[in-house]
Structure 1
Amino acid sequence: MSQERAVAASAVRLEELSSWSQELCRRELPSVLPRLLSMYQHSDNWIEHIQILKIIVEMFLPHMNHLTLEQTFFSQVLPKTVKLFDDMMYELTSQARGLSSHNLEIQTTLRNILQTMVQLLAALTGCVQHICATQESIILENIHSLPSTVLHVIKSTFVHCKDSESVYSGHLHLVSDLLQALFKEAYSLQKQLMELLDMVCMDPLLDDNDDILNMVIVIHSLLDICSVISSMDHAFHANTWKFIIKQSLKHQSVIKSQLKHKDIITSLCEDILFSFHSCLQLAEQMTQSDAQDNADYRLFQKTLKLCRFFANSLLHYTKEFLPLLSDSCCTLHQLYLQIHSKSPRSCLSIPLSLPFFLGPF
């Protein structure tokens, strides 16, 4: 037996595995993976958790059978990954109020937790990228633990970043670099996940309740994320909405009866109203300052474009799902009344006046 095989046959040592060749990883996968999974399940050390997860994702995931990933990997690892992330988030939030420039111990602890969370998100990104690179079309049931885990982690991350000013009690600057890194990693992970979900194939002739339910859960989870990021990144917010509408229409024939249409309509109406009111405020500021070539004017244009996007999305969605929207009539009518009652007639003197979006309603 070669020296490399002797290592594989003995107790798994992470420092040894990190130097293995791809060929050795492929050859020893059947014997080493169960031990790594057992170590992952029984480890109570966050750093070791991430080290094991990174080794599995980077060195052994490429050699696993993609048809059995859910059974052999995702279903065994990802539930513990979610618990690990939630535990770190709880510890982070619990200790954040003690953060100060004088308490170096808490500062070090919080920074270590944030760095570990960034690594965890990077490992999940590696999982998603692997699926995208190795499969032309995806059956959601074959990987269903992955999207649910990713969406849970992403939402929790965005909520924490959104609330960071209050969570860190005036000492945000001491960890802001790592919070930015965490947000960027979550942002990248969601973009990768949306690329993966765009590859999902659902046969309209098959009545697979699990697959339908999984896709519906994904869409509703992205809807929840939209409500979190709406005030954080307008472009990302709009792109997430664009994806929700696209997937709802793409799989319309199989998921239309399961979607929470009222929630989707209500959220779109709220986003229209918010961006519309922002346009009114900016238009008023521009009228008072009598200036057009300034930051307010450029922001007005961007906000107006966003408002049009939400209005067009609402029109498109209502057109496609009209027979299923009977319980949304009141919401749509209220939107029309609020827009019409505040039509910006006093702002028509500015060159780029606000349109009356909702005439067709």
Structure 2
Amino acid sequence: MSQERVGILEEWSSWSEDLCRRELPSVLPRLLSMYEHSESWVEHIQILKIMIEMFLPHMNHLTLEQTFFSQVLPKTVKLFDEMIYELTTQARGLSSQNVEIQATLRNILQTMVQVLGALTGCVQHVCATQESIILENIHSLPSSVLHVIKSTFVHCKNSESVYSGHLHLISDLLQALFKGAYSLQKQLMELLDMVCVDPSVNENEDVLNMVLVIHSLLDICSVISTMDQAFHANTWKFIIKQSLKHQSVIKSRLKHRDIINSLCEDLLFSFHFCLQLAEPMPLSDTQGGQDNANYRLFQKTLKLCRFFANSLLHYIKEFLPFLSDSCCPLHQLYLQIYRHFTPAVTPFPSCDISLYSQLDHSH
């Protein structure tokens, strides 16, 4: 970065709120041009932070998509993907003796954490300035954020194989990266809770964007299922909640089979884990109650299993007319669970069996 550009950026980052507001029309185009043509990741993140921290609060919230998000976020996503690629490519050279590679990887991870922080600032700004959000007015934001979140979780999930044997050298920054993505997703779900979709319009950008959001969160669920049980369950809660909230306009466009398949897989995984925990557990463990670690884990897993079962049944009840191609996975799920129970024990309440029969015979 040239000394002249460094000086300009330092000057802008020191401006007062009033000066930023007054100079926004003239400075923003220059910042956007500098961001588009910046030559290094360090310069990218410096310009991005100045735009978000100093000038975003003074932009018209009705034109954010056109004037800011659509111009900045695609470049930010590309930048993040490049950093993920660089990490994966250089990770094979990581060792305690190779100080240079270690420093390079740590710098990249620190920059990625800063990108997550910048995106969190964008989401928080929208939440703070709008009581009701029209998704079309900010549609680049959730799509970009979800892409970055998924990429982060995938990298963290694969970190043991990516950094084979040397994970301890950068584990602190990977934890910071995971926490940043975790926090960003929580903030984004708060924003999406404020979204309104016009129920009188069945085919518009808002509908398509909301469907894309739900399917993207579904993809994230498949990544984090073995990483954080509570976060996984909360993401599923949000998917079900948003599907029902906007049911009238998105019901015909959702990938119901994918949602049903994923719920069935998560329910079956939790159920089998419950069985694995229960088999070696002596009676003394169950009598020990909350003081026994094995029993606490069993209770936690059982609660998760019950959550997935209730979510699945609730989804079936609400979207029954759209589940004609989901009979096979539901039938297989029922059989795989039922075969573990003795004839005297019914795994589902009678009302639930009735619902299952209705689905099976109506399609």
Instruction: Report the TM-score range of the alignment, normalised by the length of the smaller protein.
Output: over 0.9
Matches within 5 A, 1:152-301: 152-287=147-282, 290-292=284-286, 293=288, 294-301=292-299
**Other-structure match for 1:4:** none
| Number of residues of Structure 1 aligned to a counterpart in Structure 2 | 345
Q: Please tell me whether the aligned partners of residues 45 and 114 of structure 2 are also in contact (alpha carbons under 8 angstroms).
A: yes
Superposed CA deviations along residues 13-60 of structure 1, whole A, max 9, x for unmatched, are 111111100000000000000000000000121001000000000010
**Other-structure match for 1:317:** 315
Superposed CA deviations along residues 207-263 of structure 1, whole A, max 9, x for unmatched, are 442111110000000000000000000000000000000000000000000000000
Q: Give the Cα–Cα distance (whole angstroms) in 2 for the partners of residues 197 and 337 of structure 1.
A: 37
Which of 298, 305, 308 aligns to 2:306? It is 308
1:77 to 2:72 alignment = yes
RMSD: 1.8
Match for 1:322: what amino acid? L
Q: Please tell me whether the aligned partners of residues 12 and 36 of structure 1 are also in contact (alpha carbons under 8 angstroms).
A: no
Q: Give the Cα–Cα distance (whole angstroms) in 1 for the partners of residues 326 and 178 of structure 2.
A: 34
Q: Give the Cα–Cα distance (whole angstroms) in 2 for the partners of residues 255 and 146 of structure 1.
A: 20
Q: Give the Cα–Cα distance (whole angstroms) in 1 for the partners of residues 14 and 73 of structure 2.
A: 25
Q: Please tell me whether the aligned partners of residues 207 and 250 of structure 2 are also in contact (alpha carbons under 8 angstroms).
A: yes
**Other-structure match for 1:6:** none
SS of the residue aligned with 1:204?
Answer: coil
**Other-structure match for 1:150:** 145
Alpha carbons of 1:344 and 1:284: their partners in 2 closer, same or farther (altered >3 Å)? farther
Gaps of 5+ in 2: 357-363
Q: Give the Cα–Cα distance (whole angstroms) in 1 for the partners of residues 32 and 252 of structure 2.
A: 39
User: How many Å apart are 1:109 and its aligned residue?
Assistant: 0.1
**Other-structure match for 1:336:** 334
User: How many Å apart are 1:145 and its aligned residue?
Assistant: 0.3
Q: Please tell me whether the aligned partners of residues 280 and 344 of structure 1 are also in contact (alpha carbons under 8 angstroms).
A: no
TM-score (norm 1): 0.93
User: How many Å apart are 1:291 and its aligned residue?
Assistant: 2.2
1:120 to 2:92 alignment = no
User: How many Å apart are 1:330 and its aligned residue?
Assistant: 1.2
**Other-structure match for 1:351:** none
1:34 to 2:29 alignment = yes
**Other-structure match for 1:326:** 324
User: How many Å apart are 1:356 and its aligned residue?
Assistant: 4.1
Q: Give the Cα–Cα distance (whole angstroms) in 2 for the partners of residues 188 and 291 of structure 1.
A: 36
Gaps of 5+ in 1: 1-9, 349-353
Superposed CA deviations along residues 282-313 of structure 1, whole A, max 9, x for unmatched, are 010213x7423321110000000000000000
Superposed CA deviations along residues 147-197 of structure 1, whole A, max 9, x for unmatched, are 000000000000000010110011000000000000000000000000000
User: How many Å apart are 1:97 and its aligned residue?
Assistant: 1.2
Match for 2:173: what amino acid? L
Match for 1:291: what amino acid? D
User: How many Å apart are 1:344 and its aligned residue?
Assistant: 7.0
Q: Please tell me whether the aligned partners of residues 337 and 347 of structure 2 are also in contact (alpha carbons under 8 angstroms).
A: no
Alpha carbons of 1:215 and 1:82: their partners in 2 closer, same or farther (altered >3 Å)? same
TM-score (norm 2): 0.92
User: How many Å apart are 1:73 and its aligned residue?
Assistant: 0.2
Question: Which 4+ stretches in 1 moved above 3 angstroms?
Answer: 354-360
Q: Please tell me whether the aligned partners of residues 343 and 356 of structure 1 are also in contact (alpha carbons under 8 angstroms).
A: no
